[in-house]
Amino acid sequence: MNAFKTFSLEPSLSIDLDQLKQSYKNLAASHHPDSGGEKAEFEKVNLAYAALQSPAKRLKAYMEIQEIPHDSRGAVSNDLMDLFMQVGSLVQEADAFIRKKSSATSVLAKALLEGESMEVQDKLSALIAIIEHSQEAITANFPNDIPQEQLPQLARNLSFLEKWQAQLQQRYGALF
């Protein structure tokens, strides 16, 4: 599937996300089965939107169209290794606290954990912001003249960042 073609876009690493969202709303409305559209076409629109909305998936779609060989397996680059360690440590800390909070049975015990809960929430929020900043730093340099040999590593880095962000957001939500 060519996600760019679905939205009549030229293959590009950098796209206008507001324009994409508007195009998605229009296409989804016209292809929705409740509006007389075909389910398969509606699903295709949803998959294409998900691919273009995610910087990592967009980059992978771009590489496929440009026939740039890539392997999604591999390690994160060295410049993100420290962040990887921070994420791993905080996920463990958050999971331990979530277990502790879920084992608290009385209202008083839960109330006594509120300060620690706020501390974990703050740490999660701060690290999520760092990850978002890292994603923005990578995508800000998304002109189409990035050397092809760098694109697979950028795609892996973005995939890791998106995965870490989702893990941290899941833990953040579990605190409530």
Tell me: do 84 and 166 sit in the same domain.
Answer: yes
Q: How many domains does the chain have?
A: 2
Q: In CATH, what number is assigned to the domain containing residue 90?
A: 1.20.58
Identify whether 69 is part of a domain.
no
82 inside domain: yes
For residue 144, what pLDDT is reported? 63
Same domain, 49 and 101: no
Range of the domain at 47: 3-53
> b/e for 91-103, b at 16 or more Cβ within 10 A?
beebeebeeebee
Confidence band of 159 (pLDDT split at 50, 70, 90): very high
Same-domain status, 91 and 164:
yes
| Average pLDDT value over all residues in the chain | 93
Residue 49's CATH number:
1.10.287.110
Structure confidence by residue, pLDDT tens digits, 68-121: 988 878 888 898 999 999 999 999 999 999 999 999 999 999 999 999 999 999
Give residue 75's pLDDT. Answer: 85
- Is residue 158 within 8 A of residue 55, CB to CB? The reply is yes
